[in-house]
Amino acid sequence: MKICGIICEFNPFHNGHKYILEQARKFSGCDKLLCIMSANFTQRGEICIQNKFMRAKHAILGGADAVLEMPAAFSVAPAEIFAKGAVKILSSIPQVTKLAFGCENDNKQEFINSANILINESTNFKTTLKNGLEAGESFIKSYRNAFFQAGGNVEFIDNPNNVLGLEYTKSVIKYSPQIEILPIKRVGAGYCDGKLYENFSSASAIRNNLLNENLKNNVPDFVYKDLQKAKNNQLKYQEYARLILSRTDSASLADTYGCTEGLENCLKNNQSFEFSQIIAQTSGKRYTSSRIARIICANFLNLRKSKCEQFLNSKLYLKPIAVKKEGKEEILSALAKAEFPLIISGKDKLSLDSLAYECLALDEFAFAQWLMISSETNGKKPQNGLITV
């Protein structure tokens, strides 16, 4: 069996995601599609609008054969760690031979060339980046110029989807060269486009327009039905996150990915403001708003950099959320042959070492926080932690 991996959030699952799965099925030459999905909170530091089991169900109905839960420690982290953690888990499965991802530019060789530039980070690259930041330029502008000076095509990194694809490619080249990347050109709205279009809108546009009648054309029917009951709990989450920020000391904040150069003190100084003001007061040329939101979210979930680094260097686990009924035994049998143990029932946790157990405990904590904020009693959690679709 050959498996194609896909790293995702599906918050919510929409027509563009369905298209990526269809293209991956068509061009990967693989027998199965395996998604590894952020479960409760996203890489941009936001709470997911639907529980992980429902979103995993949508992925199966949309074309996937199985969905694994990405550990929270990697889900709410900078793009490099997000990619590295996901690739680490996928590469533990011998049958995973491809990694497909959506992007603006589907030139495979350009992804490889650009990734190698970033992996090597020449002296020229580092010096240009440092000089730009010291001159007061924004991080994005400084990084863009450094990439250009190192021989990169700056237009290639101007799109968030390409940047995330580059991080996937970097991780594959450095840690899992046996996996082949499969860039798939996206269709429809851009990653952060907030406008609701006729049929291919971004996930953020859909989240912000849950009551719009045009929503139906942007998601599959099986998603639309469930979205009628969805609530965007972002504002409620922000109040909880702000409260936890006020109770966190500066030293703990500093042990959070992205919280560098005294940023923890700036956050503490601004903690009495409304959430949006905290973001506005703390972000700027050097720190993007998404970076600040991610730091606050990671702090809310007690995700510390020092511990995550240990997770990245240890044996972890595979935690399936959903599996397709047709071929269930076949895909689970393949996952059982992975380097990491398969966690389905409670007793499976006994096979984990202390670090893996701690990582899994953070996943369970994140789900508990999601349930509390969303006011769902159990998130429709199946008895054995795995749904069959």
**What is the residue-level pLDDT of the chain in tens, covering all 389 positions?**
999 999 999 999 999 999 999 999 999 999 999 999 999 999 999 999 999 999 999 999 999 999 999 999 999 999 999 999 999 999 999 999 999 999 998 999 999 999 999 898 878 888 998 899 888 888 888 889 999 988 898 888 888 789 899 999 999 999 999 999 999 999 876 666 668 888 889 999 999 999 888 899 999 999 999 998 888 899 999 999 999 999 999 999 999 999 998 999 999 999 999 999 999 999 988 889 999 999 999 999 999 999 999 999 999 999 999 999 999 999 999 999 999 999 998 899 999 999 999 999 999 999 999 999 998 866 566 766 799 99
- pLDDT reported for residue 191: 60
Question: Is-contact 386 323, C-beta < 8 A?
Answer: yes
Cα 262-137-189 angle, rounded to 5 deg: 100
What are the backbone dihedrals phi and psi of residue 246, each rounded to the nearest 5 degrees, phi first?
-65, -20
Look at the domain 3-104+159-231+310-388 and name its fold: Rossmann fold (3.40.50)
Give the max Cα distance, the chain. 58
In this prediction, residue 355 carries a pLDDT of 97
Q: Which of 102, 116, 88, 140 is nearest to 17 (CA)?
A: 102
**How far is the first Cα of the chain from the last one, in angstroms, to the nearest whole number?**
21
* Placement of tokens 């009951």 in the chain: 229
Which of 297, 350, 343 has its CA nearest to residue 320? 343
Q: What is the pLDDT of residue 90?
A: 98
For residue 226, count CB atoms less than 10 angstroms from its CB and return exposed for 0-12, middle for 13-18, buried for 19 or more: middle
Of 250, 221, 162, 246, the closest CA to residue 15 belongs to: 221
pLDDT at 193: 65
CA distance 381 to 377: 9
Domain ranges across the chain: 3-104+159-231+310-388, 121-155, 234-306
Q: Angle CA(12)–CA(361)–CA(9) in degrees, nearest 5?
A: 15
Q: For residue 51, which of 213, 226, 219 has the smallest C-alpha distance?
A: 226
CB-hemisphere CA count at 13 Å for 129?
15
- Residue located via tokens 């529980």: 51
- At residue 231, the pLDDT reads 84
Strands 66-70 and 320-323: antiparallel
